[in-house]
Structure 1
Amino acid sequence: MGLVHIELFATLDLVGQAPGGPDEDPVGFPFGGWQAPLMDEVAGAQIAAAYEGTDALLLGRRTYDIFAAYWPHQKDGQDGDIASLFNSVPKYVASRGRPDLSWAGSTHLGPDLAAAVHAIRDRHRNVKVVGSLNLVQTLLREKLFDRLDLWVHPIVLGVGKKVFDGGTVPTNLTLLEPPATSPKGTVHLRYGLAAGTPATGDMTAPDRGTNRDA
C-alpha cells in the first residue's frame, strides 16, 4: 500500500491560508502570498526534495483550479522540474462540485473520500497532497494520511484559516528526522502518523524528581 504525504506551509500561529499569492484565496484574507518574502534557496531545495518520487497528486478543488491554470504552461526555467512532474503524474480532485478536468491526467473523486484514498493508495506508492487546506483538515480528522511535511515560517498573522482547525481529533505523530532550518528562519518538520492517542501525565508527581523545597 502506498503512502499519502501532506505538504503544508504555515505561520507560527499555524495559519495555512493562501501562502503562494494574493489570488489564491482573496475573499476576506489580507495576507495572501505571505510565504514569498520568506523563501530562500535552502527552503526551496527542501520543497523540491519533498516531491522526489511522487507518482500522484491529491488536491482539493481550489488548489486544483490554481494549479491547472498555471503548471501546464510552465515547461522551462526554474520551475521546469516540478512542472514536468505535476504535468505527467495523475491528479485526483476531491470536490463536491463538478470541476473542469481539462488538465491532462485528472480524475474527479467520488463522494466517499475514505474509499477513494484507499483506492489511490493501492495504485500509487507516493501520493502528495499540496495546499488544499479544507481537504487536508478532512484527511487529518479521518487519519487518512501517513506523512506530514510542515514548513513553519517566522511570522504571526492573527487571522486566516489554520492547519489544525475545528474538528481536529487527538492524534499521535512521530518526528521522522531532525528539524531543518533555512537562513530566513523557516523550520521544516517531517512527521509520520503514529498509533494511539496522546497520553497524559503529572509533571508534579514525586517520581518526576520535583524538589518542592528548592
Structure 2
Amino acid sequence: MGIIQIELFATLDLVAQAPGGPEEDPEGFPFGGWQAPLLDDVTGTQIDAAYRGTDALLLGRRTYDIFAAYWPQHEGDQDFEIAELFNRVPKYVASRGTPDLAWAGSTQLGPDLPAAVREIRDRHENIKVVGSLDLVQTLLREKLFDRLDLWVHPILLGVGKKVFDGGAVPSNLTLLEPPATSPNGTVHLLYGLAEGTPGTGDMGAPDRGV
C-alpha cells in the first residue's frame, strides 16, 4: 500500500488559500500570491526534496486546471525541473463536474471519492496531494492520508480558507523530522498520521509535578 502525502503552504493562522498567485482563487480573496515574497532558497530546496519519488498526483479540480495550463508549457525547461515530473506521472482529479482532461496521464475519479482514493493508494507508492483544500478536507475527515507536509509562513491574513476548516477529525500525529526554519522565517513541519485519538488528562494531577 502506498503513501498519500499532503503538501500545503499555510500562514501562521493556517490560511492555505491561493498561495501561488492571484489567479489561483480570485473570488473574494484579496491576498492571492501571499507566499511569493516569502520564498527563499532553503524553502525551495525543501519543496524540491518533498517531490522526489512521486509517482502520482492527486488534485482537486481548481488546482488541476491551474497545473494543466502551466506545467506542460515548461516541459524541458531547465529552470523548471519539476515540470518533467508533473508532466510524466499520472494525475488523478477529484471533481463533481466534467473537467477537461487534456493533460497527458489525467483521470477523473469516480463519485465515491474515499473508495477511489483507496484504489489509487493500492496502485502507487508515493502519491502527492498539492493544494486542493476541498479535497484535503475530505482526506483529513476520512483519515485518507499518511503524511502532512506543512510549510508555515510568518504572516497573518485573517481571511481565507484554512487547512483544517471543517475537515479534521480527532487524530494523533507524529513529527517525522525536526522542524526546519528558512531565512525568511518559514517553518517546515512533516507529520505522519498515527493510530488512535487524542487523549486527555489533568495538568494539576500529582504525577505532573504541578
TM-score by length of 2: 0.98
Q: State the shift of 1:209 in Å.
A: 1.2
Q: State the shift of 1:205 in Å.
A: 1.2
Q: Contact conserved, 2:140 with 2:167, CA < 8 A, in 1? A: no
The number of aligned residues is 209
Q: State the shift of 1:121 in Å.
A: 1.0
Distance 1:25 1:93 in 2: 18
TM alignment of 1:1-214, pairs within 5 A: 1-75=1-75, 76-79=77-80, 81-210=81-210
Displaced runs of 4 or more, over 6 A:
none
Distance 2:78 2:23 in 1: 22
Q: Contact conserved, 2:15 with 2:162, CA < 8 A, in 1? A: yes
Helix, strand or coil for the counterpart of 1:96?
coil
Among all aligned residue pairs of Structure 1 and Structure 2, give the percentage whose two residues are the same amino acid.
Answer: 81
Helix, strand or coil for the counterpart of 1:7?
strand
Code of the aligned partner of 1:47: I
Helix, strand or coil for the counterpart of 2:59?
strand
Distance 1:188 1:44 in 2: 11
Q: Give the structure with higher Rg (CA).
A: 1
Q: Which consecutive residues of structure 1, in runs of 5 or more, have no partner in the other structure?
A: none
Helix, strand or coil for the counterpart of 2:85?
helix
Q: State the shift of 1:196 in Å.
A: 0.6
Q: Which consecutive residues of structure 2, in runs of 5 or more, have no partner in the other structure?
A: none
Q: State the shift of 1:73 in Å.
A: 0.2
Distance 1:102 1:167 in 2: 30
Code of the aligned partner of 2:192: G
Q: State the shift of 1:54 in Å.
A: 0.1
Q: State the shift of 1:167 in Å.
A: 3.9
Per-residue Cα deviation, 1:162-194 (whole angstroms, up to 9, x for no partner): 000024211110000100110000000000000
Distance 1:189 1:208 in 2: 28
Helix, strand or coil for the counterpart of 1:10?
strand
Helix, strand or coil for the counterpart of 1:23?
helix
